[in-house]
Structure 1
Amino acid sequence: MADVNTIRARAGTRAAAIDEGLRAHMNKVYGTMSVGMLITFAAAWAISGLSVTSDPSAAAAQISENKYLTDIGYALYASPLKWVVMFAPLAFVFGFSAMINKMSAATAQVVFYAFAAVMGISISSIFLVFTGYSIAQVFLITAIAFAGLSLWGYTTKKDISGWGSFLIMGVIGLIVASIVNIFLASSALMFAISALGVLIFAGLTAYDTQNIKNTYLAHAQSGDSEWLGKAAIMGALNLYLDFINMFMMLLQLFGNRE
């Protein structure tokens, strides 16, 4: 007959190994997401710097007093290319999600960082529209809110998996409404989209964090390090999108415009 203390010790050792693996998994998720955020804002800042000039002789178009678009800025923000820039991240996400199972974990990580750079180009206009102080302030608010929501999603004993379908429906509704508002240019509709968007992506932050944790625990004993590596990257992508979208919605609500 097996010794009870031996059984408990083995169970405790296995649980400790799973907990340690979970911590390492979550650290990789947050680390990958953080590098992606750094790439995004570095790309956005760099592109915005190349897009604006105060020299009229080097300008392609004027956007305000003593501020002009360069040829790069005109191509990105005023020419038909702006539609490609606007929707490129969305196409990238769908393509990445569909192809990740055929990639190695290392390739998936490189593709994620490439996506982060594309997202930076797509949102680079915020540095033309909003003050730098306002962007930094909203970023800090978003970071604090994201950390609190993600921590709650990780630690709560409540099963919030049922939120998923409603939140995804909300995201689809936001995408449709945002596309419609490109043509309507309604400030009231934009306010409603931004307010609802903050709530939806706040919910998704908690939901995605719990889902990442539960996914790891469900597969922790498989020993498939390649699969777990790709799961960490997909988790980082989901949390990255939650953060970026919540930041953009809050910036629309509270950002101070140039």
Structure 2
Amino acid sequence: MPKNSYVSFFSAGQHVASANIDIRLGFLRKVYGIVSAQLLFTTFIGALFILCEPVKAFVQGSQLLFYGSAIASLALLFAMNLMSKETPTNYVLLTMFTGCEGILVGTVVTFYKPQIVLGAFVLTCAVTLALTIYTLQSKKDFSVWGAGLFSVLWILLLASFMQLFLRNPMLDFVIAVSSAVLFCLYIIYDTHMIMHKVSAEEYIHASITLYLDIINLFLYILRILNDLSERKRR
């Protein structure tokens, strides 16, 4: 397809579903290219934090770095919502956001055994790939899941808040499993929405959405595998 036709469509604010196959595939390549770059950057930071002992010791003892990155991540998320269509500002903000998320995830994984982190990484990759292929090939309308998924998300957030006071191991495991399932469903839902409801120029928003789905899935799988490992040792 001619490049000028592709660009004109992307600037027209149309949904990807209304485009021809070339534009749809081009949009997919763009979104998944960005998400892949984000995940590689996050993986690099996580590996650095785990394998470099001085860095590992520093991040484990630096609450300021962790909470500062969390606040910066939220601020950058808000900024990207306002500047998502402003190139190259959106890419700069996205890189900074991914770096902050990488610090958060990298700090978390230093508290787990490397083999458990690797297992969670491989399992997350496999599940994400399978769910993505399923969604892209499916003829079902997953957009109706939105309200239900959002409701379950709030229920799990409330349960997680209660767990801060209850400290119940079984409840913690149930929350982790339920949350992992929830983000599996969110990957299906968001992939469907990106292909059928999202404007073609909203590739930054689409990339962030999928990236956060995958990161959250990884973190909950990590908790599940760690809990199962501890149960075996008892």
TM range (shorter): 0.7 to 0.9
Structure-to-structure mapping, 1:93-108, within 5 angstroms: 93=77, 95-96=78-79, 98-100=81-83, 103-108=85-90
Select which of 125, 139, 151 maps to 2:121: 139
CA shift in 2, pair 1:89/1:190, >3 Å: farther
- Is residue 194 from structure 1 mapped to residue 196 from structure 2 by the alignment? no
Structure-to-structure mapping, 1:85-124, within 5 angstroms: 85-86=69-70, 88-93=72-77, 95-96=78-79, 98-100=81-83, 103-124=85-106
- Is residue 159 from structure 1 mapped to residue 141 from structure 2 by the alignment? yes
* Alignment check: 8 A CA contact 2:50 2:56 kept: no
Structure-to-structure mapping, 1:25-174, within 5 angstroms: 25-48=27-50, 52-53=53-54, 70-76=57-63, 82-86=66-70, 88-93=72-77, 95-96=78-79, 98-100=81-83, 103-174=85-156
* Alignment check: 8 A CA contact 1:48 1:73 kept: no
CA shift in 2, pair 1:207/1:104, >3 Å: same
- Is residue 244 from structure 1 mapped to residue 215 from structure 2 by the alignment? yes
Residue deviations 1:148-200 (CA, integer Å, cap 9, x gap)? 11122222111111101211222233334334434544322321221111111
Q: Is the radius of gyration larger for structure 1 or structure 2?
A: 1
Unaligned stretches of 5+ in structure 2? 1-16
- Is residue 254 from structure 1 mapped to residue 225 from structure 2 by the alignment? yes
Secondary structure of the corresponding residue to residue 38 of structure 2:
helix
Distance 1:29 1:185 in 2: 39
TM-score, normalization by structure 1: 0.71
The aligned length equals: 212
Letter in 2 for 1:135: V
CA shift in 2, pair 1:29/1:75, >3 Å: same
* Alignment check: 8 A CA contact 2:60 2:110 kept: no
Q: CA deviation at 1:81?
A: 5.6
Structure-to-structure mapping, 1:212-223, within 5 angstroms: 212-215=194-197
Unaligned stretches of 5+ in structure 1? 1-14, 54-67, 220-227
Q: Which has the higher contact order (CA 8 A, sep 6+)?
A: 2
Distance 1:97 1:84 in 2: 18
Distance 1:172 1:97 in 2: 24
Distance 1:97 1:124 in 2: 22
- Is residue 235 from structure 1 mapped to residue 203 from structure 2 by the alignment? no
Percent of residue pairs bearing the same amino acid type: 24
